[in-house]
Amino acid sequence: MNLNYKSYCEKMRKIADLNFASAVLGWDQEVYMPVGSSDARAQQLGTLAGIAHELFTAPELGELLSLLEKDESLSPEEKLNIKKSSKDYKDKKKYTNEFVIELSRCTSEAFQAWDYARKNNDYNHFAPSLQKLIVLKQKETELLGYTSHPYDALLDQFEPGMTTVKLEKLFSEVKSALVPFVKEIVAKKPVDDSFLKQNYDSDKQWNFGIELLKNMNFDFNIGRQDISSHPFTTSFSSKDVRVTTRINVNDLREMIWSCIHEGGHALYEQGLPESQYGLPWGEASSLAVHESQSRIWENNVGRSLAYWKYHYADLQKIFPENLLNISLELFYKSINKVEPSFIRTAADELTYHFHIMIRYEMEKGIIEGSIPVNEIPKQWNAKYKEYLGIDVPTDALGVLQDIHWSHGGFGYFPTYSLGSFYAAQYFACAKKNIPGLLELIEKGDYKLLLDWLRKNIHVHGRLYTAEELCERITGETLQFKYFFEYAKEKFGNI
């Protein structure tokens, strides 16, 4: 191996070790850490973030990257690694070490404040921490720089190349197509899904969720699942991937689709090339591509009739008192019921994107300064009335429901809709490439689908942008029409 490239790999992996050590502490903070330990944990995370930033912005790494950018002996993949790392280096150089440490401490403290506020329906408890984070994120946009709108700087951190101009165009398509389609569906007699909201034993739910993950081929030898207040996936390498779920004893849906959704994220992480640990090639392409992997499993597979033709009998055996007299057809219609609701993570496939548009518009206003912290709940509730026609009764069911702002994740939410649209386009392509895919799903056999995703998406890591990857796989850039055609076929039949 080229000696300079070898040195680059060693430096990047040392930085990755520090970042993943921080990720372990972050995972513990959300899963097992005692409530009173938050101050010490915030300090520990801040220290590690500062050390990792110092190493990544060291002049020695910059000089090494400059040399490697001119090195023609590198392979095409090695050149792409250097290109991506050079961009990351230039971006990180824009941050001071003090800013990185302060942002890490602030997000750690904000998570604890948010967790308490959500459980106690007390937005005012979270507001001061949120205000600090917003000020830091606004400062971050200035550090990074932008051309059109400050929110673009944050979008680019999660979805390289995405801008507010592109999102406005996409969401205008969503509004013109989905709004009337949803109104048409909601006007019809709603299916009675009350059986899903009866009492379901938490231990039995947990065990069923584990079986679903195993059936998806999630490797428990290099992964695990736990409980958290907000389901998430994290990884410390492709050989250590963690997922969490949330169980509601009065709503079976939360656990099932949390497991399948996070399982899709986890399969992506487990499929990234192990040999590229710490390098761009060993990282996910983007947040939208990551979300496409969770959505393809959660919705295109996990909410399909084919999927439940295989799994429903087992679920009936586990909960006979609730489901024995419920037909597969009624169950399928109920899990795909279209209905305006308060909670994003529990929303149906169609109204889900209204939840995302609301958050996008809120974040854009917050970052540009047109929505002050004390006005956030009021404006949030007004948008829910406008888009979904519902009155939000509490902040716990409203502005406090998501964990993202407590992590400083401004710019993240749009990737959820983008991911769903990529998923529909990928799944349409997979059906063409895998003969009898739906029949395989009916048999509980997902191996060929997972192999297709590994070959076409996972193995490439971050070598390609989301748009490049989509065009490489499907022959087109992202097209909303695939999602809408999928929606019309599915919900038209229901």
Nearest to 235 by CA among 258, 214, 266, 210: 266
Q: How far is CA 335 from CA 79, 241, 346, in A?
A: 46, 28, 10
| Phi-psi sector, 473: left (phi>0), alpha (psi -120 to 50), beta | alpha
Q: Distance between CA 136 and CA 103 in Å, rounded?
A: 7
DSSP 73-113: TS-HHHHHHHHHHHHHHHHHTTS-HHHHHHHHHHHHHHHHH
Q: What is the dihedral of CA 391, 396, 402, 408, to 10 degrees?
A: 110
Q: Which of 262, 298, 349, 363 is catalytic?
A: 262
Answer yes or no: are the C-beta atoms of 86 and 279 closer than 8 Å: no
Q: Distance between CA 489 and CA 493 in Å, rounded?
A: 6
Q: Distance between CA 153 and CA 159 in Å, rounded?
A: 10
Q: Distance between CA 134 and CA 123 in Å, rounded?
A: 15
In which residue are the tokens 């084919």 written?
306
Count of Cβ atoms closer than 10 Å to residue 337 Cβ = 17
Residue 262 among the catalytic residues: yes
| Residue 464 CB contacts under 8 Å (≥ 6 apart), including other chains | 285, 472
Answer yes or no: are the C-beta atoms of 400 and 118 closer than 8 Å: yes
Catalytic site residues?
262
